[in-house]
Amino acid sequence: MSVEYTKLANTDLIVSRLAFGGEPLGGADWGKVDEAQAEAAVERALELGINFFDTADVYGLGRAEERLARALGHKRHEVVIVSKFGVNWEVDPQGGRARTFLDASPRRVVEALEKSLRRLHVDCLPLYLIHWPDPNTPLADTLEALEKCRQAGKVRYIGVSNFPAPLIREAHRRLSLGAVEFSYNLLQHRTDAEVLTCCQELGLSGVAYGCLAQGLLTGKYGAESRFDEGDRRHRLQHFQGETLRKNLEIVERVKQMSTRYDKSPAQLAIQWVLETPAIACAIVGAKSPVQMDDNAGATGWQMARDDWCCLADGKGEHNNE
């Protein structure tokens, strides 16, 4: 396995193109997660040369950040940690699911950042993102508060996540963005074409998450797969009905092509994302060292361009006619 690195545009951050997705460390919304195995996956990522770790304050309501810090140990000062804010929450006193709501107000910027720094046991975050646009807060106000945090030395670079193209452009006009994070994979790449084009035009580094479509592109789930209420996949549209049937046709094409490269379907799906113009890095979660090893096999090789285009077009096999 050969880990590849890149420099995020508008920054001096050199990061692995494969980023570790820390949401499963929160222990919520992904079914059963073995905490020890999840933290061992972080340790394995470090061993493999991964130096880019993605998390957010809302993942496990702070638990993901705490567990990431514990798993990284002193290495947390040597890697690039990106965290996000903007989804606030109220805990259910009866023990039910917390109520979440968008909040990127200037007050929340300061409050969320201070708490993330404490949970991660760092004095400064290399990269801090607005998790989702907050329609109740002017973007200029959020960015002004973030810039004050940057000037205070608590964050180095600022970025956005899940922003539509017009808001990305506005944010970049006001403050040079260090990264743009958005969901991107073989099943939905056409819906994010505008964001991808925006990143290309502005010279911004795209950081893709959801590269395996919540596991669907690994090939291990089918029409009969079922998920309990503690797993978000039981409510996601691409795991439902006719949408799932169509998606499984694409998964089958990924499986077929992956055998020709002697790669797993997951490795092919991740590599496809990494070869997309304007995508600097792919965030992929791992619940165990075994999963981390499989993810790492997505780097250090390339697909034939014809194969990449065929999957992008939904054909799966190149037609020479």
Q: How far apart are CA 168 and CA 150, in angstroms?
A: 19
Q: Is the pLDDT of residue 265 over 50?
A: yes
Within-domain flag for 151: yes
Backbone φ and ψ for 186, nearest 5 degrees, come out as -60, -25
Beta strands in the chain (DSSP E): 5-7, 14-16, 18-21, 52-54, 80-85, 87-90, 99-102, 125-130, 155-161, 180-183, 206-209, 279-285
Within-domain flag for 184: yes
Neighbouring residues of 243: CB distance < 8 A, sequence distance ≥ 6: 237
Q: What CATH number should be reported for the domain holding residue 164?
A: 3.20.20.100
Q: How far apart are CA 266 and CA 271, in angstroms?
A: 9
Within-domain flag for 138: yes
Tens digits of per-residue pLDDT, 27-68? 776 567 788 999 999 999 999 999 999 999 999 999 999 999
pTM for this prediction: 0.92
Tens digits of per-residue pLDDT, 182-223? 999 998 877 788 999 999 999 999 999 999 987 789 877 655
Within-domain flag for 14: yes
Within-domain flag for 320: no
Within-domain flag for 38: yes
Greater pLDDT, 319 or 316: 316
Among residues of the chain, what percentage have pLDDT more than 90? 75
**Would you say 100 and 89 are in contact if contact means Cβ atoms under 8 Å apart?**
yes
pLDDT at 320 (0 to 100): 28
Structural domain containing residue 276? 5-218+263-305
Q: How far apart are CA 58 and CA 296, in angstroms?
A: 26
**Would you say 128 and 146 are in contact if contact means Cβ atoms under 8 Å apart?**
yes
Q: Which of 22, 19, 78 is nearest to 52 (CA)?
A: 19
In order of 17, 50, 302, the CA distances from 2 in angstroms are 11, 10, 12
Tally of domains within the chain: 1
Tens digits of per-residue pLDDT, 137-181? 999 999 999 999 999 999 999 999 999 999 999 999 999 999 999
Within-domain flag for 173: yes
Check if 59 is active-site.
yes
Chain-centroid distance of CA 229 in Å reads 22
Q: Which of 5, 59, 128, 221 is catalytic?
A: 59
